[in-house]
Amino acid sequence: MPQTEIHDLQSFRQAIAAHQAVMLFKHSPICPTSAAAHGEWRDFREQRPDVPTLFVDVIADRAVARGLAEECGVAHQSPQAILFRGGEPVWDESHHKLTCASLEQAWDRAGS
């Protein structure tokens, strides 16, 4: 399943409405920790191509990244992954705890 890049909050709302469960990744292209987490994210997407995924570049789309925090009630961090089920956040993790294994476990518990 292709990844959807989010550039506005309306696109985010449409994406979470279109899927029962979806995983969002917020990435900073200038942060080494985020670069490592992005590698784990890519591994997760490769291992689980069936998972609907959303991607936000927190530098290019700063207002969107902050707006997501307000809209879903999960404090903004970067890097960060948030799993939504039925449009609601049910899991989130950030920084060094973002691994392919943690993403797969979250999806298996709450996403599928």
Ordered structural domains, the chain, with CATH: 3-111 (3.40.30.10)
pLDDT classification of 111: cutoffs 50, 70, 90: low
Phi first, then psi, for residue 70 (nearest 5°) are -65, -45
pTM tops 0.85: yes
Q: Which whole number is the average pLDDT over 51-60? A: 97
Tally of residues, the chain: 112
Residue 19 has pLDDT above 90, yes or no: yes
Instruction: Give tens-digit pLDDT for 79-89.
Output: 999 999 999 99
Does the pLDDT value for residue 21 go beyond 80?
yes
Helix (H) or strand (E) holding 15: helix 9-18
Q: Which two tokens stand for residue 6?
A: 């989010």
